[in-house]
Amino acid sequence: MGYDIEVRLLERQHTAVVRAKCRRDEIADTLGGIFSEVWSLIGATGAQPAGVAFARYTPEAADIAIEAGFTVAAPVARAGRVEPGELPGGEAAVCLHIGAYEEVAAAYAAVQTWMKEHQRVLSGAPWEAYLTPPEEQPPRTEVVFPLLAAN
């Protein structure tokens, strides 16, 4: 699959997230639990969702560190495992992956290749925004790489 990479200027976004660790084969189940937990807090507190579900991953030894949740209109108060966070503003390289989540690594590779070709540098951890619910086919996942400002 060929990918188009678009540079966007993003606004900083408040988030409600849970941070967790899991094995690679547990990611789907872990995300499902996190999204349910965060969505429950949003509903219970009257927080205003401001976008779609997202997740950031950081490989660590045998596990993956996950920060996942939803963007919200204003900061949320910590409650249980749910805490406030933010997605950074600024330029980002954005790539749309249409298809099975198990194949989203190709979108990451496409953005990394684009960054090398365009001499752009990552400014923080990339994230995925899930544009469709899991049951909708084909799934649409946006891969976002925050960039340092171009020279």
pTM: 0.91
Helix (H, G, I), strand (E, B) or coil at 133: coil
Residues 60-89 pLDDT 10s: 667 889 999 999 999 999 999 999 999 999
Confidence of residue 151 (pLDDT cuts 50, 70, 90): low
Pairing of strands 49-60, 90-98: unpaired
Residue 1 confidence (pLDDT) above 70: no
* The residue to which tokens 């060929």 are assigned: 2
The residues pairing with 98 across neighbouring beta strands, listed in sequence order, are: 140
- How much is the pLDDT for 150? 76
Residues 16-27 pLDDT 10s: 999 999 988 898
Residue 137 is encoded by which pair of tokens? 């086919």
Among 95, 16, 22, 92, smallest CA distance to 57 is for 22
Residue 40 confidence (pLDDT) above 70: yes
Show the domains of the chain with their CATH numbers. 5-146 (3.20.80.10)
